[in-house]
Amino acid sequence: MPFIRIKYRNILDSSDYDQAQSLEATLQASELFARSVVDALSANIAIMDERGTIIAVNRAWRQFALINGGNPDYTDEDVNYLAVCDAAAIQGEESSAEMAAGIRAVIECTTDEFMLEYQLQ
């Protein structure tokens, strides 16, 4: 009966592994620090990727959404906020159309920043 011999060899020596572990710990600490700073800001902040999907929000954003009856299905992480705005714009929400246009302008780099203030219903 034929058989296959498999040989496993670790190409990293222990010092490489220690450096990788140290780098990973440093990156995790940096991410925690950055999230803590953003969370401490009083401004409502949602960070989106290039598709308009929310990848992070701060405490102020969550509290604002909660206080004003915001649905986490539309305002929380992993939600495509651009799609939410587009859908609301189709329903006639003028500020949503403006929000979608502003988000697209930032994504497409035609503007560096966008801010919209509007009255809640």
Reported confidence tier of residue 10, pLDDT bands at 50, 70, 90: low
For the stretch 74-113, pLDDT in tens is 889 999 999 999 999 999 988 899 999 999 999 999 999 8
Task: Give the closest residue to 42 by CA, choosing from 58, 18, 21, 26.
Answer: 58
Q: Please state the separation of Cα 1 from the chain's center in Å.
A: 54
Average pLDDT over residues 17-40: 87
Alpha helices in the chain (DSSP H): 14-40, 59-67, 72-75, 81-90, 94-107
For the stretch 47-73, pLDDT in tens is 999 999 999 999 999 998 888 888 888
The pTM of this model reads 0.71
Query: pLDDT value at position 69?
Result: 83
Among 18-22, 32-36, 61-65, where is mean pLDDT lowest? Answer: 18-22
Sketch the domain layout of the chain as residue ranges. 12-41, 43-121
Task: Give the closest residue to 48 by CA, choosing from 39, 40, 57.
Answer: 57
Report the alpha-carbon distance of residue 10 to residue 7 in Å, rounded. Answer: 10
